Structure 1
């Protein structure tokens, strides 16, 4: 889970003890966008924004990715980020097939997704056959130094299972700011909500009265699916329109949108 440490300016020193969990005995540190390593052990931000640490753990190692995030500008891919993209084309042979996935509003406009990089895709017969225009929910597994493009995977790296990754069928895709995407992902767990004084995200507030599915991409895209187009559009509107509202104004605006939706469906 990603954790926001605080706001930094270019040149501010980043103390490692502020971003590494205290329980981590032998941490692995990975630098993401907006950071610079000056040997031997100095790390500096090179742009203003929110200093963010994302920690992933396995039974043997714990890796903390440090990056500087802000609400404006284009998305810069970083390892472990979840993204929503659109399949543009397929290339390669039958045994080693790959997809080019478009990542709008990104400094890397497309990524590479192997046909084998899905859960239960060990053999060619079980691999998905994605057509151009297919929307996928993926994770940035690595950055290709040769191609300068992110390498994507559609499974949970800890369990090897699908865990919501893969083709997103039906629904609608909409754009939001990269800052809003970051905040929605930060508040997507009970622990994060508790750290935010118990305040729920707009998605959780909507979920109290409406039934829908949602996927949030770190690249500033959301996918929403429900049993009606009207509900899907209402959810997208609520998320987009409440970005800069106070918490109480957001609750009031969501209640108004839900009330109008329910009235129109009678």
Structure 2
């Protein structure tokens, strides 16, 4: 059985907003996705312990050490690393502790930024602007084409994305695996006995949830020039909801948003998470 630790990147207010909008916290929805992927990739049972490291009173279950888990997964967040608040630094501390304990770690968006900063890199507001909806024309580097994180990905692809910040400088012992014109998009870090794999995009996010996230980010999208007004954001979000509900249809919507049909397939969209479970987390659990 996979025994995973899932760290929610949001503080209490962020978790409440996410729950109000989607019906669950980021960690709860990520845990559900991890369970689905584990079952699809060999039928493994998956137990997820949820923790909120932004909170001062966050703690592992009594008597449990980080080394007891087969992996740590860190979600996205509405927090900003540049704030340097305790809610931020506590998450950096958890990332360092997990890597020092030899845990394999996967992070999406915020999770990748935290890993970069925790190991000596830099993250902050992206001078090239944000990506809202999809990260476009992602291209694996030569190292990325050979790396197991991106196994099964084509030479160019799109992926769900919602971010204004990005990794600006890679830490030592990091490998750039994919990028696009906007930002660093996938990295691997070896730090002491720990290994981190992560993406700036959100392989865990279904298109209906992505639409909700866009509505929550309407002000940023308009300020960044991604959409003209709130009506345009709502129309984009509505299209994503329809695509999620009817994955065999709506070629007109795929064409409108310049999307390949692979974005509708769970296995394709979640590929990096599946590779992490298959190639790092499950072998660690089997060896325990």
Structure (1 or 2) with the greater helix fraction: 2
TM-score, length of structure 1 as denominator length: 0.29
TM-score, length of structure 2 as denominator length: 0.27
Structure with the bigger RCO (C-alpha within 8 Å, sep 6+) is 2
User: Which of 1 and 2 has greater Rg?
Assistant: 1
